[in-house]
Amino acid sequence: MKKQSENSAIGRREFLAATSGLLAAAVPGGEMLAHAANSEDPISGAPAAKPAGNLHKIPIGVFDPVYDHLSLDAMLDKVTALGLEAMEIGTGGYPNNRHCPLDDLVKDRAQAKAWLKKFEDRGIRVATLSCHGNPIHPDPQHAQKDIDTFRKTVLLAEMLGVKVIVGFSGCPGGTPQDTQPNWITYRWPPEYAKMQDWQWKEKIIPYWKDAAKYAREHGVKRLAFEMHPNFAVYNPRTLMKLREAVGEEIGANCDLSHLFWQGCDPVEVIHFLGKQGALFHAHMKDTVFFPENVNKYGVLNFAFETNELDLASETFRAVGYGHGAGLWKSIVKAYMDIGFEGILSIENEDPILAGEVGVERAAYVLKNVRKELLGE
């Protein structure tokens, strides 16, 4: 079954490459689909290198849940062998904390410093701590667990000198009586507008005002929200809405894989958020579209497993396997152009190039386009 699904997916990628000119006009976000690369050679056809000018080198790193089957030391061996320069480490929430014993580290500064030294000894920077959760979940126990994880993550970041914490905005229920989150994106019929207004006024803004104040008091001034479906912040507009209500501590973890299918232009998003001073972190993850299914089913039709690909409109891919190296070169250049101070953090959720292999392929693409841009 898996082999059959993978063969089917390869056929779609070949179709993408063969029909790129037509896709630009026919599919939402089609101007980006025209860059789709053949999965066997994502770098082929990349533009020739140009002089670097004043472009700066942005570190390439990886988000650690992809190595959750490995011990900390074994993971660091892998990351070192790939020549990666930084890491994003999960401290709890949905990614869990396989490599970061959060409760132990926040209680013992010496243990926390010894933990950090393992990275430093290999020349790897711990750039961000990530606690993707839902601290405004209508289930009080769920919410409290994620609130506690966030606060402990802030304390650990203060100990270690980490300046960025990554997570989700969360999503509350639609009424005080709800027991499950209610993601509202469309303000009609009118009861939905009423529920959405209640969510923002009573739950989302008050919680994050308090959380941002707590972070600021502990020296953390960058809370990077992943713009993700099923959470209140899911696109640049909702991100800016929260930032305007809460303060400059609120910014973006720009994971373009969630924005491609919404029809966003990646370079435009980077420049927009950069101009606002609201771009704190970047997940490096791609999305591939299957146009024959987009045309029939629309874009709200995602696949997470290989056995879902035949009927899917899109799925996550490693960098360079949804859009070609030419577009990713433009994306990396856009980060350089705005003076981005974070890292390019590979997050692999590719159902075809699963696990470590997807990280290796993404790192190859990113290192090559960065090298071209810097004229190395």
Identify whether the C-beta of residue 137 lies closer than 8 Å to the C-beta of residue 170. Answer: yes
110 φ, ψ to 5°?
A: -65, -40
Residue 36 confidence class, pLDDT cut points 50, 70, 90: very low
pLDDT at 50 exceeding the cut of 70: no
pLDDT at 223 exceeding the cut of 80: yes
pLDDT at 40 exceeding the cut of 70: no
The pLDDT of residue 41: 44
pLDDT at 13 exceeding the cut of 90: no
Residue 190, judged by CB atoms within 10 A of its CB (0-12, 13-18, 19+), counts as exposed
75 φ, ψ to 5°?
A: -65, -45
The pLDDT of residue 233: 98
Q: Global pTM?
A: 0.87
The pLDDT of residue 54: 77
What is the C-alpha to C-alpha distance for residues 245 and 250, in angstroms, rounded to an integer? Answer: 9
Residue 52 confidence class, pLDDT cut points 50, 70, 90: low
pLDDT at 228 exceeding the cut of 60: yes
Identify whether the C-beta of residue 29 lies closer than 8 Å to the C-beta of residue 267. Answer: no
pLDDT at 362 exceeding the cut of 50: yes
Mean pLDDT of the residues in the chain = 89
Q: What is the pLDDT of residues 194-220, one digit of tens each?
A: 999 999 999 999 999 999 999 999 999
Q: What is the DSSP code string of 250-265?
A: EEEEEETHHHHTTT--
Six-digit token string for 157: 């970041």
Return the minimum-mean-pLDDT range out of 16-30, 87-101, 197-211, 290-304: 16-30
Six-digit token string for 200: 């923002």
The pLDDT of residue 376: 85
Q: In the 3-class helix/strand/coil scheme, how is 49-106 assigned residue by residue?
A: CCCCCCCCCCCEEEEHHHHCCCCHHHHHHHHHHCCCCEEEEECCCCCCCCCCCHHHHH
The pLDDT of residue 289: 98
The pLDDT of residue 38: 39
Share of the chain above pLDDT 90, in %: 85
Nearest residue to 105 (alpha-carbon basis) of 63, 158, 165, 163: 158
What is the C-alpha to C-alpha distance for residues 109 and 115, in angstroms, rounded to an integer? Answer: 10
The whole-number average pLDDT for the span 133-137 is 98
Longest dimension (CA), the chain: 60
The pLDDT of residue 25: 34
C-alpha atoms less than 13 angstroms from C-alpha of 370 in its C-beta half-sphere = 17
Residue 176 confidence class, pLDDT cut points 50, 70, 90: very high
What is the C-alpha to C-alpha distance for residues 350 and 175, in angstroms, rounded to an integer? Answer: 36
pLDDT at 28 exceeding the cut of 90: no
pLDDT at 34 exceeding the cut of 80: no
Share of the chain above pLDDT 70, in %: 86
b/e for 167-181, b at 16 or more Cβ within 10 A?
Answer: bbbbbbbbeeeeeeb
Cis peptide before 189 (omega within 30 of 0): yes
